[in-house]
Amino acid sequence: MLAVWLPNWPIERLTSKQPELRGQPLLLENTASRGQRVVACSPEAREFGVQPGMPVAEATAISTLQAVRLTHDAEADRRALEKLADWCHRFSPTVGIEDTDTLLLDATNLAPLYGGEGPLVEQISQGLTRLGLTAHVALADNIAAAWALAHYPGSGTTRLAPVGESIAAVVSLPLAALRLDDITIETLGRLGIESVEEVLALPRSELASRFGPELLTRIHQLLGDQAEVIRAVAHSERLTTQWLLEPPLTKWTHINKILQQLLRRLAHLLAARDAGALQLTCHLECQASDDVSFDVRLFRPTADAAHLMEIVALRSERLLLTSPVTAVKVHVAKYAPLARQQRVLFERESHWQHSTGVAALVDRLAGRLGAEAVVQCRVQHEAQAEFAYTEQSLVGNLTARKKSTAKPPTAKLAPLDRPLHFFAKPQRVETLSFLHEGPPIRFTHGGQQYVVAHHRGPERIETGWWRRRGIRRDYYRVETTTGRRFWLFRCLRRQKWYLHGAYE
Amino acid sequence: MIATAPSPTKLPQLRGMLERLEAPRYDHQRTVLSTGVTAVDRLLPQRGLQSGMLVEWVADGPGSGASLLPVAALKNLQHTGGAIVVIDREGHFYPPAASAWGIDLQHTIVIRPTTEADELWAIDQALRSPDVAAVLAWPERIDSFTFRRLQLAAEASGAIGLLVRPKRAQQEPSWAAARLLVSPLPSSANVTEWEESNPPDCWKLNVSVLRSRRGRPGQSVELEVDEQTGNIHEAIQHPTTDRLPARAGRLATQLAHRASHEQTA
């Protein structure tokens, strides 16, 4: 279990939202029944002697202090803390809020994904520092111990209690580390009990009757006898993982290893939600030059780490990096519920779109060649030859596999009506024809002169005047004296001949 | 030891040895499908398209109809349960025409690589996949090493590779089971410069074997592609063509003259 304590959350929330307030003495006040009190103050104000809990009148009496006074907005603090908890979802799938300034993260099984508990704590700490927040991060066996260690960090901003040693780390802390209320602490204090160790030494059977059930609960929670559950904050839609690099890395093999690790974590997060990724964005922040990012799209939702690693590697090996990388972030741009794999009795007869072999092939091809290079075509009813079909990428979207509901084009083409070899951009050819609007007789293409022996046509193709770039063309299927076949047209507007296809 | 030419009696024996070395293992166990044209089937080793086979179709110049035959063959291959993969680097593949030939575009994946290296890689990847029924591509150049890799990939997965090659590929080495040259033929004997004659009802193509794993190179067949239906069948020799022998002789020289005029380098 991980606890993150943000000691100055109200102030830091404001300074991150309004950077101009940073560095200034800042007072947050609220109106309680006993008059206005300082709820929080910035470190600069503290230097002048201001303390949280102090009456505002006392604080303003300090003549040397030119403080900015703002009203404390607890609601806004809470909302922002929830957003921060959601941000922490890039580290752990379960994040909860305790009090007004502490976050709890479930760290079970997370350590291997970060290469150890130490790096895990480091990464979280660095991430929060980069956001401009002061945070104390602690990792321990249970929530009670983690909370205690976070609030009483000793030296340094992070504390790690190795497995089994949580209690030992906590025993020397004062009673407030147990999250007890003030009355209980005062009562115990009058009895001479000041530290956790002393409380643990008391006979347990009488504690409930003398101090109320809460003390006993807290002790049991600390010892691990009573389970404590994180009340998790709901996930927002973002699925992101990141790795901050201190110092920046230059070697591609190392960056690749980090990418692989990030993908393993993402797969873990996706599997927890029973979802698969359809589109990933990988973002590399560079020190000196522009950030590099690339997209990876998949044929089917997948949460398989090995598959994701293979496809990302195909794309990432073509990247050119010009400066050291300071952070690597991977974000799931699109995801969908994982398809339930149905066992098909006669696999040979099943549609190939359900087969994993083709899915892997499509992903690999799209990974190296780009999503727009792997498409499925569909014929559409359209006079102009260039637009008689549409293409749709097979990766990155679920609609690619819907059965075509469009009506088939009403005019069924004979096989030789259209050429198999098509020039998307018609090629200008020098043509000779006898009649003004007649068929071609000779034409030159590719440095060769061809003499037309037979022709079929003209097939008049016109698009309506409402099209901005309408066409008026007479198409001819010509056969030359040597038996070669081509598809030519005369543009009626410009009176020029073009070659639009060859039968080969 | 000085090499001497083998005696004529030994040639069939040597040829048999070569075939056994070159042929894939378990030849007899794999299914053989028709290209849709019996005459073309006859030209191929195994008398058809065997799974794991690569076939080259060399186009004898532009407008020669070389892609027509493999596309027509795909009609037979597409319903075997696997996907059809078309690798179109130059962007010449025209889906409406393919659809008119009977290709179901819902079963077809079209890949558009931009470089030759990417194209060969994509062909390799597609041939390797066991769920791919056939691969159609127009690779300009394939070096021997890559070609061998493609052949092994097809053999391992059972996919059929239909490769349409340019004319100059004839000089290149081949690991395909067969290399066929497709040439267009003028439709009729009437070849005067400009004559308002009715267009013919079929397109004539000549398919000859340049190289084959089994069967003799040099075998050829003349095909007719019906204009209305797209039906391809072997041309039947009409007795009427012998009606005017003298004119035919003169026309033949004219044809040869014109053909050499238009011959691509």
What mean pLDDT comes out for the span A459-485?
Answer: 84
The verdict on a CB contact (< 8 Å) between A455 and B110 is no
* H or E, element range at A68: strand A68-71
Calpha distance A14→A20 (Å, rounded):
10
State the pLDDT at residue A340: 52
Mind listing the pLDDT tens digit for each residue in A287-309?
888 888 888 888 888 888 888 99
Three-class secondary structure of residue B107 per DSSP:
helix
What mean pLDDT comes out for the span A410-433?
Answer: 83
Q: How far is CA A168 from the centre of its chain?
A: 39
Say what percent of chain B tops pLDDT 90: 35
On whether any CB of chain A is under 8 Å from the CB of B57, the answer is no
B224: left (phi over 0), alpha (psi -120 to 50) or beta: beta
On whether any CB of chain A is under 8 Å from the CB of B197, the answer is yes
Angle between helices A204-211 and A213-223 (to 10 degrees): 140
The verdict on a CB contact (< 8 Å) between A453 and B186 is yes
State the pLDDT at residue A53: 78
Q: Exposed (0-12), middle (13-18) or buried (19+): which is A214, by Cβ within 10 Å?
A: middle
**pTM > 0.80: yes or no:** no
Calpha distance B61→B197 (Å, rounded):
25
Contact A111, A120 (CB under 8 A): yes
Nearest to B73 by CA among B236, B230, B217: B230
Lowest mean pLDDT among A205-214, A276-285, B163-172, B189-198: B189-198
**Any idea how long chain A is?**
504
Beta bridge partners of A334: A279
Tokens 């590929």 -> residue? B169
What mean pLDDT comes out for the span A114-136?
Answer: 87
**Alpha helix segments (H runs only) across A243-304:** 252-272
Number of Cα atoms under 13 Å in the Cβ half of residue B233? 8
**DSSP result, A73-87:** -HHHHHHHHHHHHHH
Tokens 């901005």 -> residue? A468
Contact B142, B172 (CB under 8 A): yes
Contact A443, A497 (CB under 8 A): yes
For residue A310, what are its two tokens?
A: 């293979």
Residues 6+ away with beta carbon under 8 Å from A312: A259, A263, A280, A282, A296, A367
For residue B95, what are its two tokens?
A: 């889906």
Tokens 């600390």 -> residue? A222
Largest distance between two CA atoms of chain A = 119
Res. A131: pLDDT tops 60: yes
Q: ipTM > 0.85?
A: no
Contact B232, B223 (CB under 8 A): yes
The verdict on a CB contact (< 8 Å) between A362 and B225 is no
Nearest-by-Cβ selection for B125 from A350, A365, A421: A365
The per-residue pLDDT string of chain B (265 residues; one tens digit each, 9 = 90 and over) reads: 566 666 777 777 777 677 666 665 556 667 888 888 888 888 888 888 888 999 999 999 888 989 999 999 998 888 887 889 999 999 999 999 999 998 988 889 999 999 999 999 999 999 999 889 999 999 999 999 999 999 999 999 989 999 999 999 988 888 999 999 999 988 765 555 555 566 778 888 999 998 888 766 778 889 888 888 888 888 876 544 444 455 555 666 666 666 666 554 4
* H or E, element range at A367: helix A356-369
Q: Exposed (0-12), middle (13-18) or buried (19+): which is B4, by Cβ within 10 Å?
A: exposed
> Considering only residues 444 to 483 of chain A, which have any Cβ-Cβ distance to chain B shorter than 8 Å?
445-446, 448-451, 453-456, 479-483
